[in-house]
A and B are shown apart, each in its own frame.
Chain A
Amino acid sequence: RKEVEQDPGPFNVPEGATVAFNCTYSNSASQSFFWYRQDCRKEPKLLMSVYSSGNEDGRFTAQLNRASQYISLLIRDSKLSDSATYLCVVNSGAGTYKYIFGTGTRLKVLA
């Protein structure tokens, strides 16, 4: 089993749609969770951290379910500019800053 698993997609959605991505992780000792966005041939950029209570940043909502070891990202009112690959990132264990990346979920928002 991969340490961090994501559906690679692509998810093709029309502008204005709501889309959700899930990610599962295998290490129950992981404590830090993030969603990164990566555009083609660019470096990853932090979209948002994921907190236990869930958190929202504008059109983006992240949720964490520790019991089931999965993380979700919800994007509302999709924009063309949201087209990118979304990477689920988990630290590799308690007290470590090492990140484990998922393979990413590709999103295409269509006009």
Chain B
Amino acid sequence: GAVVSQHPSRVICKSGTSVKIECRSLDFQATTMFWYRQFPKKSLMLMATSNEGSKATYEQGVEKDKFLINHASLTLSTLTVTSAHPEDSSFYICSASLRTSGEQFFGPGTRLTVL
């Protein structure tokens, strides 16, 4: 299957700092990438849909100025959590979608802990 990488896998930062997470599709081109967040014992919640070369589409309740998404190429999307606070601590997972089938392949996730 297609491979998606995420970097970093784990981040611990102080409150108020910004954190950038990268999502890469390694062996295919993904016109669409998705960003999810998962709190402990909860479901994955879609935060935004990232389309290459255009602005991301955010889900209701997700602040676009706080969660900046850039999808500059067909293999890379980045999520920046600006001015992170402890309530932003979560498991952030990206996925990349095959253009032909729409099937999503997930990255290994980034565990963010804000102190």
Contacts and interface: CB of A to CB of B under 8 A. Distances in A.
Contacts of B36: 101
Q: Which secondary structure characterizes the binding site on chain B?
A: strand
Contacts of B112: none
Interface stretch (A14-22, A36-44, A57-65, A72-80): A36-44
A42 B93 CA distance: 9
A44 B44 CA distance: 9
B34 A99 contact: yes
A97 B102 contact: yes
Interface residues of B, number: 23
Interface stretch (B11-19, B78-86, B103-111): B103-111
Contact of B111 (A41, A97, A99): A41
Contacts of B74: none
User: For chain A, which range describes its interface: under 10, 10 to 19, 20 to 34, or 35 or more residues?
Assistant: 10 to 19
B109 A42 contact: yes
B25 interface: no
B43 interface: yes
Given A32-B102, A41-B91, A46-B1, A99 B108 contact: no
Contact of B34 (A42, A98, A102): A98
B46 interface: yes
A43 B104 contact: no
Contact of B104 (A42, A99, A103): A99
Interface of A: 32, 41-46, 49, 87, 91, 97-104
19 contacts: A43-B93, A43-B106, A43-B109, A44-B44, A44-B93, A46-B1, A46-B103, A87-B43, A87-B44, A91-B102, A97-B32, A97-B97, A97-B102, A97-B104, A98-B34, A98-B49, A99-B46, A101-B36, A101-B43
Interface of B: 1, 32, 34, 36, 42-46, 49, 91, 93, 95, 97, 102-109, 111
